[in-house]
Amino acid sequence: MFLIVGGSGWLGGTVARLLLAQGRRVRVMTRIPAKVDNLARLGADVVAGDLRQPETLRQALNGVEVVIAAAHAFPGEGENNPLTVDNVGNRALIDAAKAAGVGHFVFTSMLGVRDNHPVDFYRIKYGVEQYLHASRLSYTIVRPSFFMEPWAVRIGEQVVEKGEVTIVGHGHNPINFVSVDDVASLVLLILDRPELRGRAIKIGGPENLTLHQVAAIFEQIVGRFVTKRYYSLERAKATSILMRKINPALSRDLALSVYMDTADLAFDSTETLRVFPLQLKRMEGIIRQRYSAVTRVPGTGVA
């Protein structure tokens, strides 16, 4: 039995569907079971659980051989946040998996994690990687770049609603985006490769794109100019600091946006492709699939 923590999310849901299509037994953990009705209909066992509640983890892990940890609370509000979920919660999951005698643990981390990373979310991920390593559980870590699909939706919503996109900084920094489908395929390949146990596998997409280039893809697909609104790096940094206590989710988001505009986020996927037979998807295809049918952008005359 595979337990997917975060099965209602982009990556967890895709991994669940791929495993179910292979006829494997899948259990999906979520705080809100109605969110995964689609997976239940495909044959997944659904269990209510919360990374902040260790007793629910014990129940979820009953009879499980492999855990795939794909939850996160980066945008989380209030008590459901990176500290309680990504840090404390993932460590509790590792402890519970060990106690339950789980055979293998796949942890979804991020490309670029390190202990002195400027963004605390990356430091949390790195700390959990270290904790997993020290646990002596059999494990594999996956370190993907930014996911294409949620970023396409985030930008696409602005394009569709207002005909514009807000860019923090200059928008000229090349960023590697990878399709969730490709990361999910990699997770499945890893499961059948015991020699990769104890390793951290990096995966990125086939191209490094600036936010201007992503906006240009939207322009081509919806057939209209997309207005760029700029939020300066100085303002983003200052607001991030100011909002740390008042609105931590906004503070985190701005800190990440500053990082995305300033850090070296390019990735060469040659090495990944040498080891894994993947046909990496491109951003244009992901956007076209979702937005080529868009016929109207309110207030902009996009028709």
Ligand X SMILES: NC(=O)c1ccc[n+]([C@@H]2O[C@H](COP(=O)([O-])OP(=O)(O)OC[C@H]3O[C@@H](n4cnc5c(N)ncnc54)[C@H](OP(=O)(O)O)[C@@H]3O)[C@@H](O)[C@H]2O)c1
Binding site for ligand X (CB under 6 A): 5-6, 8-12, 30-32, 35, 50-52, 70-73, 80, 85, 89, 108, 110, 144, 146-147, 150
Which of 34, 195 has the CB closer to ligand X?
34
Taking the complex as a whole, how short is the minimal distance between the CB of residue 194 and ligand X, in angstroms? 23
Taking the complex as a whole, how short is the minimal distance between the CB of residue 238 and ligand X, in angstroms? 25
Select the residue whose beta carbon is closest to ligand X and give its number: 9
Taking the complex as a whole, how short is the minimal distance between the CB of residue 242 and ligand X, in angstroms? 25
Taking the complex as a whole, how short is the minimal distance between the CB of residue 172 and ligand X, in angstroms? 20
Which of 50, 129 has the CB closer to ligand X?
50
Q: Are strands 208-209 and 175-178 parallel, antiparallel or unpaired?
A: antiparallel
Which of 6, 171 has the CB closer to ligand X?
6
Taking the complex as a whole, how short is the minimal distance between the CB of residue 279 and ligand X, in angstroms? 20
Which of 88, 243 has the CB closer to ligand X?
88
Which of 19, 110 has the CB closer to ligand X?
110
Which of 5, 286 has the CB closer to ligand X?
5
Owner of token pair 């402890």: 95
Taking the complex as a whole, how short is the minimal distance between the CB of residue 31 and ligand X, in angstroms? 3
